[in-house]
Amino acid sequence: MINSDYLNNLNKAQKEAVLYLDGPLLIVAGAGSGKTKVLTSRIAHIIKEKKAFPNQILSVTFTNKAAKEMQNRVSKMLGSAATGLSWLGTFHSICAKILRKHATAAKLNSNFTIIDTDDQTRLIKNICKSENIDIKQLAPRFILAIIDRWKNKGYYPSEVIINNKDVYERTILPLYKIYQQKLIDLNSCDFGDLILHTVKILENYPDIRQIYSTNFKYILVDEYQDTNFIQSKWLNLLSEKTKNLCCVGDDDQSIYSWRGAEIKNFLEFDQVYKNTKVIRLEQNYRSSQNILSVASNLIANNQNRVGKTLISEMEEGDLVKLNCFKNGKDEAIGISDEIEKKLKKKYSFNEMAILVRAIFQTREFEERFLKIGMPYRILGGTKFYERAEIKDCVAYLRLIHQEKDDLAFERIVNNPKRSIGDTTLKTVHEFGKKNNLSLESAAKKMIDQNLIKPKTKMGLNFFLNALNKWRNDINIKKINHVKLLQTVLDESGYSAMLKNKKDLDNENRLENIKELISAMKEFDNLESFLEHVSLATSIDQDWDGEKINMMTMHAAKGLEFDVVFLPGWEEGLFPHQKSIEEKGQNGLEEERRLAYVGITRAKKKAIISFSMNRFYQGDWIDSMASRFIEELPEKYLEKNSFFDDEIDDGQDFDFNQDLEIEEGTRSPGWIRYQKRIK
């Protein structure tokens, strides 16, 4: 039984989008405007009006979560009629379904295997080994990223036209040819193949294309601004017959170009599909009007956009706060103070979020929250001291400080690679246990007794001699702990490994290490720093229940919170310098869209901040407020006293303050900290 009330709960624009069924339709759905409700209501309406049977409707999402949510909503509206909705899913799941029916056209059997990232990596490693490619210099993940980029552009190996100036492309193309043939031989495909093979089949076999383009009376697509070339091509081929293609999205939230998304798919939709109807969903059901006004004024500075004006059904709400701080540490203090003094009683920790441009920025907030006992979680990432490169650095320092630290020895003895494998390590373990020796002492003894193979002995000797040298540096030469880590990273080969290896994540790893060096400067010596790290990780393990959310703005897309903090709005950091250098104006506009996404995550309060100085890469640097701050409309902003040069230092407490200050000015975090240190 179909629930006919689905139209009654729609606003005018939403209703228009549901009722318009003939021809291509682009729905420009602003943040929080109810796009999922429109898509599901549209499916219900098509079936109720008998415009198509459920199995003649193709509905495409990007994630399994979104597909499941849509399926559940449609089921509530349609009841038993939803059981025939067999073509609702992700791009990959629907393509897999089509490909299994026509596998022979792609030189596969219908029972082909879809390999995951681990299998892909293993296969590339084997190919690199057979082709004498050093994976220390050219990471398998990077190779796969380039191959995936070619597949997203619709290229089989024979169709790739490489940039001869790009040494990596010249090296990777032969690997792509071998990789693709291996997949065919194994009767397998990767995720990129699911769409690529399907598109090639639809292009090369008109009879197959006609089957699907005729069957799919209506096609609906969610988050269309995130589509890449091959996905757009696939949709174009499938809608060839009826042209009833309905795409929903928000060009102002297109922030994934680094994953292959092409905003021009959205911007040029009405040029590709003639007689396109464009409907704007501008009624926002998430945020207060002041938040929307700030976001709308900011994004209006972008030239490449369809354009819309968001209107809230809620009250005006609080002004958006704009805070300036002396430095990054004060920024973390100021935010923690605001949470504890003003917001904690009114909002749950779970409903608060700190959104940063780059993941290394979480460190100062984590340090602060750990210090005052404020629980937090990192969404879409790993906590700072749990990141692999940070744990590697700390392990080196731990072993230098304490030679019996077997856990640290295990972690870094072969990191970077020194031809010291698991078999050797197991042998050292057994020798140490038998002779009651630490792993380091056992390794020395085994070398002395010539119990280690020559190649392994060379790598192990290098490591042990380096340890002695570093201990001498800090104990006799008296270099400080910061200089020690910089020396270790250089002389161990760890820095070179990250810099020279073409790996997509290495830039973030290097940024995190630079942030670690900044953190170390806050401690007097190596011992106090290592103690801090130990306490930080142990304190965190005891937390449960409500937690403040921390994540990058990219990870926040699709989420919403009552209170959102947006720190670090400084030139070079946000907008990010690399984005502008690599993509120019297009990069700047994507950074502005990212700012828009960040602001529109807030339902009730948005707090933007920047600092005048920031401790970055081990040095204090003067910061310049982000150009985006100049683009924020004054009348919707509440600025802190920094803008009037009326700084009240008593407002932002730190733990070195004079204890004579009245306790009423202290936050609960300060009180907890005092109790802990007594």
Integer Cα distance of 277 and 264 in angstroms: 17
Structure tokens at 129: 């080994």
pLDDT 10s digits, 547-562: 999 999 999 998 999 9
Inter-residue long-range contacts of 234-237, CB under 8 Å, 24+ positions, other chains counted: 234/91, 234/95, 234/195, 234/198, 234/199, 234/202, 235/60, 236/272, 237/199, 237/202, 237/203, 237/209, 237/213
- Given a cut of 60, whether residue 371 has pLDDT beyond it is yes
Q: Residue range 190-209: average pLDDT?
A: 96
Q: CB within 8 A of 67, min separation 6: which ones? A: 61, 88, 89, 90, 93
**What 3 state SS string does 181-227 have?**
HHHHHCCEECHHHHHHHHHHHHHHCHHHHHHHHHHCCEEEECCHHHC
Model confidence band, residue 191 (pLDDT cutoffs 50, 70, 90) = very high
Specify the pLDDT at position 64: 84
pLDDT 10s digits, 493-514: 999 888 877 766 788 899 899 9
- Given a cut of 80, whether residue 615 has pLDDT beyond it is no
Integer Cα distance of 336 and 669 in angstroms: 8
Integer Cα distance of 202 and 185 in angstroms: 23
- Given a cut of 60, whether residue 540 has pLDDT beyond it is no
Q: CB within 8 A of 195, min separation 6: which ones? A: 91, 92, 95, 151, 230, 231, 234
Element (H, E) at 497: helix 494-500
Specify the pLDDT at position 674: 54
> What is the crossing angle of helices 526-541 and 481-491, to 10°?
80
Going by C-alpha positions, the residue among 145, 103, 140 that lies closest to residue 119 is 140
pLDDT 10s digits, 16-33: 999 999 999 999 999 999
Structure tokens at 578: 């690399």
Q: 3-class SS at 28?
A: strand
The strand order across the sheet containing 25-29 reads 88-90, 57-61, 218-221, 245-249, 25-29, 277-281
Sign of the CA dihedral running 73, 78, 79, 85: negative
Model confidence band, residue 7 (pLDDT cutoffs 50, 70, 90) = confident
Specify the pLDDT at position 262: 93
Q: 3-class SS at 352?
A: strand
430 burial level (CB within 10 Å; 0-12, 13-18, 19+): exposed
Specify the pLDDT at position 76: 83
Structure tokens at 408: 């640290």
- Which stretches of 54-110 are DSSP H helices? 64-78, 91-101
Q: CB within 8 A of 215, min separation 6: which ones? A: 55, 56
Inter-residue long-range contacts of 190-194, CB under 8 Å, 24+ positions, other chains counted: 190/114, 190/115, 190/120, 191/92, 191/114, 192/147, 192/148, 192/151, 192/152, 193/106, 193/151, 194/91, 194/92, 194/95, 194/96, 194/99, 194/114
Integer Cα distance of 617 and 511 in angstroms: 8
CB 633 within 8 A of CB 294: yes
Structure tokens at 627: 């150009």
Longest dimension (CA), the chain: 86
β 619-622/602-616 pair status: antiparallel
Model confidence band, residue 342 (pLDDT cutoffs 50, 70, 90) = confident
Q: CB within 8 A of 109, min separation 6: which ones? A: 103, 187
Conformation bin of residue 643: beta by default, left when phi > 0, alpha when psi is -120 to 50: alpha
Q: Residue range 59-73: average pLDDT?
A: 88
Q: Residue range 351-361: average pLDDT?
A: 94
Looking up tokens 């690529």 gives 196
Q: DSSP secondary structure string, 570-608?
A: BTBBTTBHHHHHHHHHHHHHHHHHHHHHHHTTEEEEEEE
315 burial level (CB within 10 Å; 0-12, 13-18, 19+): exposed
Specify the pLDDT at position 373: 86
Specify the pLDDT at position 504: 65
pLDDT 10s digits, 97-133: 999 999 999 999 999 999 988 899 999 999 999 999 9
Q: Residue range 283-292: average pLDDT?
A: 95
Looking up tokens 């997949």 gives 183
At residue 223, what are phi and psi to the nearest 5 degrees? 55, 50
Catalytic site positions: 35-36, 222-223, 253, 601
Structure tokens at 249: 């999205």
pLDDT 10s digits, 124-182: 999 999 999 988 888 899 999 999 999 999 999 999 998 777 788 889 999 999 999 99
Peptide bond into 24 cis (omega under 30): no
Model confidence band, residue 203 (pLDDT cutoffs 50, 70, 90) = very high
Specify the pLDDT at position 19: 95
Average pLDDT, the chain: 88
Element (H, E) at 455: helix 454-475
Structure tokens at 639: 């600025």
